[in-house]
């Protein structure tokens, strides 16, 4: 296979085929498509080959990027090889490389060869997966993939759900459904304007998409109770129950508990069983935001944390995080999908299925906010079919091992301080030289900027109990423990440079 990948100029191979047909028409012929696609595939193979040696983040500026790209709207068809060359020489290099083995920022999937091909295959079909009738195999494939996802985390196979754009949309859909449930069960007799405020309970470490959802749903961000956390940054369950009780006594309507299945900042995993007990005692909806941590259920060392997830009324999962899928693939699961249907279904004449019944009348738009939807299941299906759950599980376990290894390296270093226990695959730390009297937050901020600009490793930032932290998340099947050692060296180099710059400015 390797032998056919051209070096060094990746766009040559397919170019020969399609440059003869210089002006592609909109109705591109299959032969022209073949040449064009081959050239693009060559380019991608070239990218994958060089990825690990590229700077994680290009040293560039907005002006430089604009100058390389800006032009008037093309009126005429362009030359394919030239256009692909811009992708190869400008667009790819002038982006951050989330697939680089030492990219540790945020929570970003590296994607995979399988999902890249899956996106191409899905795009060519261009199915709009609104319902079964739109694309029967696409709809059934989504149901199948959803069943696989449910099985991975130990959720009820009878539950419903759908693929959505990401965790924010999944949380939004889940909270909208929770509101329906609570309005139907706890306050059905009151007209909406008389209903007491609905309350949401989530730890102070909860993701900001919960806040956005509360705002967009009209629940109001003031009605979120941000609950303090314990030493490991997991929610304080006793305080959670106290607040629920106090709200009820005050005449408010507790609506939903959100459990973090891996927080964004530190990877802390809330105790789901205990939160499920509270939800049960007070008749609340329990939503587990496992957008980040959900697929850690595949890792033997993390599986126990998922105990109780089967009791959740809804779950957010993001294949486009820890299942290494391409961006734009999230998932929301509802234990009782009919509550979601009562939230999202609309009887509209121009979409009503005619002549179809049962499974063939199934419409995804009845279970989430979107009508038009891309064929998200195909890249994900390809990912799972081509690699299999066993290799994904091994990669996830290895990510956890790498994060813990780095945590240990930090703990063994006198000039570094671990700011939180390593939660799943997230590590947070700061540089704290012995006898340093300056502002540690400012010093670490400078270290981060220098590290990111240097391009060998990439961390992002967070705040842990008011301290500025260097934060990394291992979410890449390419990352090894050697990369973690290299990261440590890169941090030390950046720290040295930051201290040196400080001594010059004094
Ligand atoms: C815990 C958690 N929930 C929700 C989200 C939002 O996910 P998305 O970026 O896919 O909208 C994130 C993103 O990092 C997250 O970490």
325 C-alpha to ligand 1 centroid (Å): 14
Q: Name the average pLDDT for the chain.
A: 94
Atom of ligand 1 nearest to the CA of 166: 10
- pTM attached to this predicted model: 0.95
- Label residue 9 by pLDDT band (50, 70, 90): low
- Label residue 12 by pLDDT band (50, 70, 90): low
Q: Please give the pLDDT value at position 8.
A: 43
The answer to whether the CB of 277 falls within 8 A of the CB of 314 is no
- 15 vs 291: which has the higher pLDDT: 291
312 C-alpha to ligand 1 centroid (Å): 18
Calculate the alpha carbon distances from 293 to 181, 187, 331, 357 in Å: 26, 33, 13, 37
Burial (0-12, 13-18, 19+ Cβ within 10 Å), 197: middle
| Whole-number percent of the chain with pLDDT over 70 | 94
166 C-alpha to ligand 1 centroid (Å): 7
238 C-alpha to ligand 1 centroid (Å): 26
Does ligand 1 lie within 6 Å of residue 155's CB atom? no
Q: Please give the pLDDT value at position 6.
A: 44
Report the alpha-carbon distance of residue 115 to residue 328 in Å, rounded: 11
Q: Is the pLDDT of residue 381 over 80?
A: yes
Atom of ligand 1 nearest to the CA of 321: 10
**Phi, psi at residue 229, to the nearest 5°?**
-120, 170
Secondary structure (3-state) at 354: coil
Sequence-distant (6+) residues with CB within 8 A of 238 are none
The answer to whether the CB of 379 falls within 8 A of the CB of 139 is no
Secondary structure (3-state) at 244: helix
Q: What is the pLDDT of residues 206-248, one digit of tens each?
A: 999 999 999 999 999 999 999 999 999 999 999 999 999 999 9
Of the candidates 206, 262, 236, 209, the residue with the CA atom closest to the CA atom of residue 403: 262
Lowest mean pLDDT among 1-5, 290-294, 396-400: 1-5
Q: What's the rounded mean pLDDT across residues 288-293?
A: 98
Report the alpha-carbon distance of residue 336 to residue 159 in Å, rounded: 6
The answer to whether the CB of 274 falls within 8 A of the CB of 227 is no
Secondary structure (3-state) at 257: strand
Which of 351-356's residues contact partners 24+ apart within 8 Å by CB, and which partners? 351/130, 351/131, 353/131, 353/133, 356/132, 356/133
Q: Is the pLDDT of residue 15 over 80?
A: no
Q: Please give the pLDDT value at position 106.
A: 98
168 C-alpha to ligand 1 centroid (Å): 6
Does ligand 1 lie within 6 Å of residue 205's CB atom? no
Q: Is the pLDDT of residue 274 over 50?
A: yes
What dihedral angle (degrees, nearest 10) is formed by the CA atoms of 481, 482, 486, 491?
10
Does ligand 1 lie within 6 Å of residue 166's CB atom? yes
Q: What's the rounded mean pLDDT across residues 91-113?
A: 98
Burial (0-12, 13-18, 19+ Cβ within 10 Å), 230: middle
Q: What is the pLDDT of residues 113-155, one digit of tens each?
A: 999 999 999 999 999 999 999 999 999 999 999 999 999 999 9
Q: What is the pLDDT of residues 464-504, one digit of tens each?
A: 999 999 999 999 999 999 999 999 999 999 999 999 998 76
Q: Is the pLDDT of residue 4 over 80?
A: no
Sequence-distant (6+) residues with CB within 8 A of 396 are 295, 296, 298, 299, 302, 322, 425
Q: Please give the pLDDT value at position 476.
A: 98
Q: Is the pLDDT of residue 195 over 80?
A: no
Q: Which two tokens stand for residue 15?
A: 């170019």
Beta strand pairing call for 160-164 and 330-334:
antiparallel
Does ligand 1 lie within 6 Å of residue 403's CB atom? no
Report the alpha-carbon distance of residue 293 to residue 322 in Å, rounded: 7
Atom of ligand 1 nearest to the CA of 264: 16
Q: What is the pLDDT of residues 49-68, one digit of tens each?
A: 999 999 999 999 999 999 99
266 C-alpha to ligand 1 centroid (Å): 13
Pocket-testing residue among 209, 261, 329, ligand 1, by greatest number of atoms within 8 A of Cβ: 209
463 C-alpha to ligand 1 centroid (Å): 17
Q: Please give the pLDDT value at position 329.
A: 98
Does ligand 1 lie within 6 Å of residue 266's CB atom? no
Pocket-testing residue among 165, 212, 292, ligand 1, by greatest number of atoms within 8 A of Cβ: 292
Q: Is the pLDDT of residue 348 over 80?
A: yes
Q: What's the rounded mean pLDDT across residues 298-311?
A: 98
Report the alpha-carbon distance of residue 265 to residue 465 in Å, rounded: 11
Q: Please give the pLDDT value at position 16.
A: 52
Does ligand 1 lie within 6 Å of residue 330's CB atom? yes
Q: Please give the pLDDT value at position 196.
A: 81
329 C-alpha to ligand 1 centroid (Å): 11
The answer to whether the CB of 149 falls within 8 A of the CB of 331 is yes
**Phi, psi at residue 314, to the nearest 5°?**
-155, 160
Q: Whose CA is nearest to atom 16 of ligand 1?
A: 264
167 C-alpha to ligand 1 centroid (Å): 5
The answer to whether the CB of 164 falls within 8 A of the CB of 332 is yes
The answer to whether the CB of 364 falls within 8 A of the CB of 129 is yes
259 C-alpha to ligand 1 centroid (Å): 13
Report the alpha-carbon distance of residue 330 to residue 321 in Å, rounded: 8
Q: Please give the pLDDT value at position 194.
A: 73
282 C-alpha to ligand 1 centroid (Å): 27
Atom of ligand 1 nearest to the CA of 168: 11
Beta bridge pairs of residue 316:
289, 332
179 C-alpha to ligand 1 centroid (Å): 21
Does ligand 1 lie within 6 Å of residue 289's CB atom? yes
Q: What's the rounded mean pLDDT across residues 12-41?
A: 77
Does ligand 1 lie within 6 Å of residue 279's CB atom? no
Between CA 265 and CA 468, with CA 407 as vertex, the angle to 5 degrees is: 40
Atom of ligand 1 nearest to the CA of 167: 7
- 499 vs 25: which has the higher pLDDT: 499
Report the alpha-carbon distance of residue 461 to residue 134 in Å, rounded: 43
CA torsion through residues 17, 19, 25, 26, sign: positive
Q: Is the pLDDT of residue 413 over 80?
A: yes
Q: What is the pLDDT of residues 81-100, one digit of tens each?
A: 999 999 999 999 999 999 99
Q: Please give the pLDDT value at position 427.
A: 98
Q: What is the pLDDT of residues 416-460, one digit of tens each?
A: 999 999 999 999 999 999 999 999 999 999 999 999 999 999 999
The answer to whether the CB of 184 falls within 8 A of the CB of 354 is no
Beta bridge pairs of residue 460:
471
Secondary structure (3-state) at 352: coil
């Amino acid at each position: 296979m390797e032998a056919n990948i051209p070096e060094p100029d990746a766009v040559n191979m397919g170019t020969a085929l399609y440059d003869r047909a210089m002006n592609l028409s909109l109705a591109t012929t299959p032969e022209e498509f073949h040449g064009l696609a081959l050239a693009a595939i060559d380019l991608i193979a070239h990218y994958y080959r060089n990825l690990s040696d590229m700077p994680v983040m290009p040293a560039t500026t907005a002006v430089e990027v604009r100058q390389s790209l800006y032009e008037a709207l093309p009126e005429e068809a362009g030359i394919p090889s030239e256009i692909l060359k811009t992708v190869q020489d400008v667009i790819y290099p002038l982006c951050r490389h989330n697939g680089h083995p030492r990219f540790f920022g945020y929570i970003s999937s590296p994607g995979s060869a399988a999902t890249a091909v899956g996106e191409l295959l899905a795009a060519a079909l261009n199915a709009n997966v609104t319902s079964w009738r739109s694309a029967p195999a696409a709809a059934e494939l989504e149901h199948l993939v959803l069943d696989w996802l449910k099985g991975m985390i130990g959720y009820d196979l009878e539950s419903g759900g759908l693929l959505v754009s990401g965790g924010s949309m999944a949380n939004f859909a889940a909270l909208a459904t929770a509101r329906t449930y609570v309005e139907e069960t706890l306050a059905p007799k009151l007209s909406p304007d008389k209903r007491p405020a609905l309350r949401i309970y989530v730890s102070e470490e909860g993701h900001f998409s919960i806040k956005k959802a509360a705002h967009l749903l009209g629940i109001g961000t003031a009605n979120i109770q941000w609950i303090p956390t314990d030493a490991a940054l997991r929610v304080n369950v006793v305080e959670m129950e106290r607040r629920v009780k106090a709200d009820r006594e005050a005449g408010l309507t507790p609506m939903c508990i959100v459990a973090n299945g891996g927080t964004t900042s530190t990877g802390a995993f809330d105790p789901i069983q205990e939160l499920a007990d509270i939800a049960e005692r007070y008749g609340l909806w329990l939503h587990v935001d496992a957008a980040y941590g959900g697929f850690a259920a595949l890792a033997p060392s993390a599986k126990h944390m998922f105990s109780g997830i089967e009791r959740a009324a809804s779950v957010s999962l993001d294949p486009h995080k820890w299942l290494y899928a391409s961006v734009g693939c999230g998932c929301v699961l509802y234990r009782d999908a009919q509550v979601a249907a009562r939230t999202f279904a609309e009887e509209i004449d121009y979409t009503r299925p005619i002549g179809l019944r049962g499974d063939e009348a199934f419409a995804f738009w009845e279970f989430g906010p979107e009508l038009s939807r891309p064929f998200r299941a195909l890249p994900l299906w390809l990912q799972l079919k081509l690699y299999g759950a066993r290799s994904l599980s091994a990669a996830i376990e290895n990510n956890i091992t790498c994060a813990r290894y780095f945590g240990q390296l930090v703990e063994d270093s006198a000039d570094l301080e671990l700011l939180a226990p390593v939660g799943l695959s997230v590590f947070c730390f700061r540089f704290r030289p012995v006898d340093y009297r300056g502002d540690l937050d400012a010093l670490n901020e400078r270290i981060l900027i220098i590290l990111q600009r240097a391009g060998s490793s990439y961390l992002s930032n967070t705040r842990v109990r008011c301290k500025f932290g260097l934060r990394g998340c291992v979410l890449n099947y390419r990352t090894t423990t050697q990369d973690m050692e290299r990261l440590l060296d890169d941090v030390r180099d950046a720290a040295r440079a930051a201290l040196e710059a400080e001594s010059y400015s004094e």
